[in-house]
Structure 1
């Protein structure tokens, strides 16, 4: 479990997120704005991850994310409005690890936080994790081919690769994959995993009809043989 800061100007939202994250074992501290965040940082050990609302008064969440990335390099999850695609894109470009739309679905937030903490765990960077002929750079949240070139994948596809690469040889059910690689859109039923796996195979497999990286285990799920 980790020390997490929740920064949101709505007291009810702060309390709801803090109560939930605390109930699953995280240590949670809170701030309402940039000034409160500065006081929080001066008062104790820096959090491992920040949950930042984009629409903060004064310095907004995007400005704070940029500052935090330069000063501390923590995990950052942005809270955005349901339709604020621009904020999501900008947030990821300036260094946020993930975003989640309001109103927040608490189990989804917990899954996103777990995924970010897992990617940023010491020892998860460096040369990266092997994934067939590829290597997964968890700190950079990207997949590289054998010559070090970036493979163009969506964030959801990288999440899926991370789920398999960190569990080689283990059969992962659809429920497992929904937890390890939570959806970033409205397509949240477990069958969406099948479509995401199919798209991933088309991008990475030499022969998508006879996959070697992500194999189907009938009636159980999928497995990366390792």
Structure 2
């Protein structure tokens, strides 16, 4: 259980009270604010374990808030979007949200998503010593030692990734995408498998979360490696593959 609170950011005061009561009953500390401006003021004082952020708010929107906070804070963010607003979900993920949930949401589903995001933010313990991909790492289990593949260095325990001396700034979902692809470098991994092990949930119909996370990792690798080469290949109808350097 995280020691820091979950921060609810939504202009619906009654919904915040309902969700806060439910999450507190499950053992979480919860704070609520009702505007993007109030959320920024809150962040200046502390960093939450996770932020639940509504897209549609009066004044500054949730997407505008996300765009402002990402350069400064890497706090996990779960976006709440209108059920029919697929474009908001994609935009939120592209701006650095970890996952999304359509409103009105079931509190039990929200709790499951929160647990999944918090788990993947902290489930890679450190083991000293740098190594290539360990041959004894079981399939479906994240690596527990630093990995080096194609000039990319990733330390699961420190939650650190870099190319040479240049750090890769990744969200928790992006970090886990890269870790799992590096662990299975050269293999084609299906979207259902990646979603299960990276996002800790099943792949849903019309679910684009994994695709957007992979796309963001691909872009960041291309910028850091200074190459037009596509380091993460899309294998149509099958999934994704991290290409080893020759």
TM-score, normalized by the shorter chain, greater than 0.5: yes
Please name the residue that 2:117 is paired with: 116
1:183–1:69 distance in 2 versus 1, CA, 3 Å:
same
In 2, the alpha carbon distance for the partners of 1:122 and 1:132 equals 16
TM superposition shift of 1:36:
1.2
1:30-60 deviation per Cα after TM superposition (whole angstroms, max 9, x unaligned): 1111111123223x43101000000012221
TM superposition shift of 1:150:
9.0
- Structure 1: unaligned runs, 5 residues or longer: 164-179, 188-201, 205-226
- Determine if the alignment matches structure 1 residue 88 to structure 2 residue 96: no
SS at match of 2:53: strand
Please name the residue that 1:7 is paired with: 9
Q: 1:132 aligns with which of 136, 139, 142?
A: 139
1:83–1:146 distance in 2 versus 1, CA, 3 Å:
same
What TM-score, normalized to structure 2? 0.58
In 2, the alpha carbon distance for the partners of 1:184 and 1:70 equals 30
Please name the residue that 2:38 is paired with: 36
CA RMSD, aligned part only?
3.5
CA contact (8 A) 1:78 1:99 kept: yes
CA contact (8 A) 2:11 2:57 kept: yes
Q: 2:201 aligns with which of 173, 177, 181?
A: 181
- Between stretches 136-145 and 4-13, larger displacement belongs to 136-145
Please name the residue that 2:195 is paired with: 159
TM superposition shift of 1:68:
2.4
Q: Residues 56-95 of structure 1: matches in 2 within 5 Å?
A: 56-95=57-96
In 1, the alpha carbon distance for the partners of 2:202 and 2:57 equals 26
What TM-score, normalized to structure 1? 0.63
TM superposition shift of 1:157:
4.0
Paired positions, count = 172
